[in-house]
């Protein structure tokens, strides 16, 4: 064997090892999800008598219906949709406006405000809920959908960075030509900047949307009336306690709750990746 | 009469002139666009922050009397073993985070180059990041239950069920199990960040390295690693501060039972179950100081570590790396 064949053999072996490692980690990532799906498809008897990893004999979707009604997920989906729409609208509006002002105007306090938003990321959110809870009580915002929505609009920092970064790539000549034409600053923001920002808005809405949809700690704390005000994430709390051993139903509930995220992921994979990367580099 | 009207018209005109002047418009725009975000930032971040610091000096519940106790709450954080010792659990999560960084860095390096089915692998590994915390809790309660998923897979690999521990109950392993779920959830996200960083490395550098006969390892050590060190370093620090505030895995999977209560789980319990608001606030402030200190340290280290690079300027830096690659390649030959 000469050097050349030796290096080909070596390369092939390395290649095979590479694929084995990739398959291994992909397997690790989806094994828990696959097992949950398998179990969700089994009826009570089959679940009780077979191993959890044994494939179901026939597909049985009754668990999904049962989980959906038991956890009142219809109501939860409506609530989550309302929350998502309002939070995304408001946070896009105030986020782009703030980024516009911070990027296009030089004024005293500009850097200070940026730093205030930056420093806020260091404050551990969960720890702060001790005192946020007190403020929410005083403002009478607990146990109201709008209270939770207002709070969720306020905790938005990463997307402001995404917007600011995007603004930096929009040439200021556009602003100037708008000013020459006599447009007001609001008009410039509304008619020139907002349309140009569309890709950034899509990206940060997806990230913020997934984050809002999955948020459960504050939802649990501030939307205590679980029959009326549960979100999709908190509706899963129904399965804690006496129902805790009916895993085939619980698994079905889990699958239902992650379907929207899966859908968004499949359709917007690229934007999610790019949004994460820009957000992380700046933040 | 005529004069008076004229003055009025003039005044109106000057008001509208003033109103529509660029300078005024500027001020109005700045004020309008910043009012709501700043109000929200103040109400839900800085006001609670200030209050939290204030609360930490009181013995109080959410409702009812408050008594000033000075530094007593802080002393308790350090003296009562159940509080401060729970910080020790962070080491499990730190170790987990380091394993996670290594895995994601490896996968990112592999997936940055052309790989068959690369997008599918990437998708599978990333998806866990998008699942909500409660669902993750149920998934892993199920996963680790005696005789269920994890045990079955281990049995396939030839392990004897009787010799396997209870993954969430045995105190020797349960914190590792929880740290493992954290790895499962975040390694794909970390990988995507690293892929982003690696993709932004100048491809010329790889070409130069290839021409000089570098193998994959040398490419990784002399081209990839130096070029993504900022992102890497940031992630190391983030995982350390993240480990200190580990909360979700124990909160949703074990509810902090059997010695898995991390500092934040303890704090949540103190704040909302026993309603010792002052005590919980003191715990939060102590952790915040530790995290701020770690972040400060990070900035100092970052400046120190990259001082050389900044001083040289980017162009020289690239040239230097190319030279380094040259010598490295030759050394191997």
* Per-residue pLDDT reduced to its tens digit, B49-91: 999 999 999 998 888 888 899 899 999 989 888 887 888 888 9
| CB-based contact, A7 to chain B, within 8 Å | no
For residue range B112-139, list pLDDT tens digits in order.
888 888 999 999 999 999 999 999 999 9
| CB-based contact, A6 to chain B, within 8 Å | no
Give me the residue from B34, B47, B284 closest to A124, CB to CB.
Answer: B284
B244-281: burial string, b at 16+ Cβ within 10 Å, e else? bbbbbbbbbbbebeeebbbbbbbbbbbbbeeebbbbbb
**A283 or A277, which is more confident:** A277
What pLDDT, on the 0 to 100 scale, is given for residue B113? 82
Sign of the C-alpha dihedral, residues B316, B317, B322, B327?
Answer: positive
Do B213 and B86 lie in a common domain?
yes
Q: CB of A124 within 8 A of CB of A245?
A: no
Give me the residue from B62, B142, B189 closest to A276, CB to CB.
Answer: B189
Residue B262, in any domain of the structure: yes
Task: Kindly report the length of chain B.
Answer: 333
Do B319 and B179 lie in a common domain?
yes
Do B22 and B106 lie in a common domain?
no
What's the total number of domains in chain B? 2
Do B152 and B12 lie in a common domain?
no
Residue B83, in any domain of the structure: yes
Sign of the C-alpha dihedral, residues B166, B170, B172, B177?
Answer: positive
Sign of the C-alpha dihedral, residues A41, A43, A44, A47?
Answer: negative
What are the residue boundaries of the structural domains of chain A, listed by start? 3-49, 71-282
Q: Are the Cβ atoms of B124 and A30 closer than 8 angstroms?
A: yes
Any idea what the CATH number is for the domain that residue B257 is in?
Answer: 1.10.3720.10
Residue B68, in any domain of the structure: no
Give how far Cα A152 sits from Cα of A86, A215, A222, Å.
10, 9, 11
Q: Which residues of chain B does A151 touch, with a Cβ-Cβ cutoff of 8 Å?
A: 44
Give the pair of three-digit tokens for residue A84.
């998502």
Q: Which fold has domain A71-282?
A: MetI-like fold (1.10.3720)
Residue B70, in any domain of the structure: no
Residue B20, in any domain of the structure: yes
Average pLDDT estimate for B38-42: 92
Q: Could you say which residues from 67 to 86 on chain A have a Cβ atom under 8 Å away from some Cβ of chain B?
A: none
Mutate to test the interface with A, among B134, B250, B266 (most CBs of A within 10 A): B134
Q: B257 to chain A nearest CA, in Å? A: 15
Give me the residue from A134, A154, A239 closest to B40, CB to CB.
Answer: A154
Q: Which residues of chain B does A124 touch, with a Cβ-Cβ cutoff of 8 Å?
A: 245, 264, 284, 287-288, 291
Residue B270, in any domain of the structure: yes
What pLDDT, on the 0 to 100 scale, is given for residue B316? 44
In chain A, the residue whose alpha carbon lies closest to the alpha carbon of B238 is A122
What pLDDT, on the 0 to 100 scale, is given for residue A1? 55
In chain A, the residue whose alpha carbon lies closest to the alpha carbon of B128 is A29
Q: Which residues of chain A does B295 touch, with a Cβ-Cβ cutoff of 8 Å?
A: 122
Q: CB of B49 within 8 A of CB of A128?
A: yes
Average pLDDT estimate for A142-162: 84
- The C-alpha atoms of residue A94 and residue B32 are separated, in whole angstroms, by 10
Q: Could you say which residues from 235 to 274 on chain A have a Cβ atom under 8 Å away from some Cβ of chain B?
A: 236-237, 239, 247, 250-251, 253-254, 257-258, 261-262, 264-265, 269, 272-274
Mutate to test the interface with A, among B33, B193, B280, B293 (most CBs of A within 10 A): B33
Q: A72 to chain B nearest CA, in Å? A: 16
Burial of B182 from C-beta contacts in 10 A (0-12 / 13-18 / 19+): buried
Do B145 and B199 lie in a common domain?
yes
Q: Which residues of chain A does B271 touch, with a Cβ-Cβ cutoff of 8 Å?
A: 129-130
Q: Which residues of chain B does A26 touch, with a Cβ-Cβ cutoff of 8 Å?
A: 120-121, 124-125
Q: Are the Cβ atoms of B38 and A113 closer than 8 angstroms?
A: yes
- The C-alpha atoms of residue B264 and residue B248 are separated, in whole angstroms, by 9
| CB-based contact, A188 to chain B, within 8 Å | no
Q: Which residues of chain A does B180 touch, with a Cβ-Cβ cutoff of 8 Å?
A: none
User: Please, which residues have CB within 8 angstroms of residue B184's CB and are 6 or more apart in sequence?
Assistant: A28, A29, A32, B128, B140
What pLDDT, on the 0 to 100 scale, is given for residue B10? 62
Which of the 8 DSSP states describes residue B255? T
What pLDDT, on the 0 to 100 scale, is given for residue A206? 87
Q: B56 to chain A nearest CA, in Å? A: 10
The residue segments making up the domain with residue B44 are 2-55
pLDDT at A282 over 90: no
Q: CB of A231 within 8 A of CB of A212?
A: no
Do B255 and B192 lie in a common domain?
yes
Q: CB of B306 within 8 A of CB of B231?
A: no
Residue B108, in any domain of the structure: yes
Do B8 and B114 lie in a common domain?
no
Do B44 and B174 lie in a common domain?
no
- The C-alpha atoms of residue B263 and residue B223 are separated, in whole angstroms, by 40
Alpha helices in chain A (DSSP H): 3-40, 44-49, 62-70, 73-104, 110-120, 125-138, 145-154, 158-168, 173-180, 185-187, 194-196, 198-214, 217-222, 226-229, 232-235, 247-282
What is the DSSP code string of A85-119?
HHHHHHHHHHHHHHHHHHHH---TTHHHHHHHHHH
Give the pair of three-digit tokens for residue B221.
């050590």
Do B327 and B263 lie in a common domain?
yes
Q: B35 to chain A nearest CA, in Å? A: 9
pLDDT band with cut points at 50, 70 and 90 for residue A155: low
Q: Which residues of chain B does A262 touch, with a Cβ-Cβ cutoff of 8 Å?
A: 127, 130
Do B19 and B85 lie in a common domain?
no
What pLDDT, on the 0 to 100 scale, is given for residue A279? 64
Give me the residue from B45, B247, B291 closest to A120, CB to CB.
Answer: B45
pLDDT at B13 over 80: no
Alpha helices in chain B (DSSP H): 2-20, 22-41, 47-55, 72-79, 81-84, 90-112, 118-126, 133-144, 149-156, 174-199, 203-211, 216-219, 225-227, 229-244, 248-249, 263-268, 277-312, 314-332
- The C-alpha atoms of residue A36 and residue B98 are separated, in whole angstroms, by 28
Lowest mean pLDDT among A29-33, A105-109, B1-5: B1-5
Q: Which residues of chain B does A214 touch, with a Cβ-Cβ cutoff of 8 Å?
A: 130-133
Do B23 and B165 lie in a common domain?
no
| CB-based contact, A24 to chain B, within 8 Å | no
Q: Are the Cβ atoms of A254 and B138 closer than 8 angstroms?
A: yes
- The C-alpha atoms of residue B302 and residue B310 are separated, in whole angstroms, by 11
For residue range A217-238, list pLDDT tens digits in order.
899 999 999 889 999 999 998 8
For residue range B178-231, list pLDDT tens digits in order.
999 999 999 999 999 899 888 888 888 888 888 888 887 888 888 888 888 878
- The C-alpha atoms of residue A270 and residue A274 are separated, in whole angstroms, by 6
Residue B113, in any domain of the structure: yes
For residue range A43-93, list pLDDT tens digits in order.
888 888 888 888 888 888 999 999 999 999 999 999 999 999 999 999 999
Do B96 and B10 lie in a common domain?
no
pLDDT at B12 over 70: no
């Amino acid at each position: 064997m000469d050097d050349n064949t030796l290096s080909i053999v070596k390369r092939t072996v390395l290649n095979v090892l590479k694929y084995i490692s990739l398959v291994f980690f992909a397997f690790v990532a989806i094994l828990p999800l696959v097992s949950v799906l398998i179990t969700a498809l089994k009826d009570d008897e089959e679940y009780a008598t077979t191993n959890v990893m044994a494939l179901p004999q026939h597909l049985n979707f009754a668990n999904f219906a049962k989980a959906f009604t038991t956890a009142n997920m219809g109501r939860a989906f409506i609530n989550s949709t309302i929350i998502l729409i309002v939070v995304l609208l408001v946070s896009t509006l105030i986020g782009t406006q703030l980024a516009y002002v911070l990027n296009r105007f030089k004024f005293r306090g500009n850097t200070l405000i940026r730093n205030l938003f930056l420093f806020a990321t260091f404050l551990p959110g969960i720890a702060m809920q001790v005192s946020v809870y007190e403020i929410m009580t005083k403002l009478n915002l607990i146990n109201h959908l709008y209270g939770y929505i207002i709070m969720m609009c306020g905790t938005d920092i990463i997307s402001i960075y995404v917007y600011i970064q995007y603004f930096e790539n929009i040439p200021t000549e556009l602003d100037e030509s708008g000013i020459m034409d006599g447009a007001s600053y609001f008009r410039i923001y509304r008619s020139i900047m907002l349309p140009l920002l569309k890709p950034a808005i899509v990206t940060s809405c997806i990230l913020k949307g997934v984050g809002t949809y999955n948020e459960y700690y504050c939802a649990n704390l501030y939307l205590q009336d679980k029959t009326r005000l549960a979100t999709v994430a908190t509706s899963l709390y129904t399965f804690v306690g006496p129902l805790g051993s009916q895993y085939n139903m619980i698994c079905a509930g889990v699958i239902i709750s992650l379907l929207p995220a899966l859908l968004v992921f499949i359709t917007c994979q690229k934007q999610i990746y790019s949004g994460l990367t820009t957000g992380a580099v700046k933040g | 009469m005529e004069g008076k009207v004229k003055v009025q018209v003039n005044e109106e005109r000057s008001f509208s002139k003033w109103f529509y002047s660029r300078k005024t418009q500027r001020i109005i725009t700045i004020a309008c666009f910043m009012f709501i975000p700043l109000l929200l930032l103040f109400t839900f971040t800085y006001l609670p922050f200030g209050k939290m610091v204030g609360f930490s000096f009181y013995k109080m519940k959410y409702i009812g009397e408050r008594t000033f106790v000075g530094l007593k709450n802080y002393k308790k954080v350090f003296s009562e073993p159940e509080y401060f010792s729970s910080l020790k659990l962070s080491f499990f999560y730190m170790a987990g985070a380091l394993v996670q960084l290594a895995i994601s860095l490896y996968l990112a390096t592999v997936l940055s180059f052309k790989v068959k089915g690369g997008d599918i692998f990437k998708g599978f590994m990333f998806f866990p990041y998008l699942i909500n915390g409660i669902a993750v809790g149920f998934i892993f309660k199920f996963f680790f239950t005696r005789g269920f998923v994890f045990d079955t897979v281990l049995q396939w690999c030839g392990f004897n069920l009787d010799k396997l521990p209870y993954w969430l109950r045995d105190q020797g392993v349960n914190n590792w199990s929880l740290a493992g779920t954290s790895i499962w959830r975040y390694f794909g996200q970390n990988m995507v960040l690293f892929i982003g960083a690696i993709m932004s490395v100048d491809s010329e550098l790889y070409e130069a390295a290839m021409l000089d006969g570098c193998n994959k390892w040398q490419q990784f050590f002399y081209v990839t690693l130096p070029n993504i060190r900022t992102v890497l370093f940031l992630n190391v620090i983030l995982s350390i501060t993240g480990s200190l505030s580990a909360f979700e895995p124990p909160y949703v999977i074990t509810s902090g039972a059997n010695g898995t209560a991390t500092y934040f789980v303890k704090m949540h319990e103190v704040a909302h179950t026993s309603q010792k608001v002052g005590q919980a606030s003191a715990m939060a402030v102590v952790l915040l100081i530790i995290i701020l200190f770690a972040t400060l340290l990070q900035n100092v280290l970052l400046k120190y570590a990259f001082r050389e690079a900044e001083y040289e300027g980017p162009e020289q830096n690239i040239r230097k790396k190319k030279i380094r690659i040259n010598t490295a390649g030759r050394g191997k030959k």
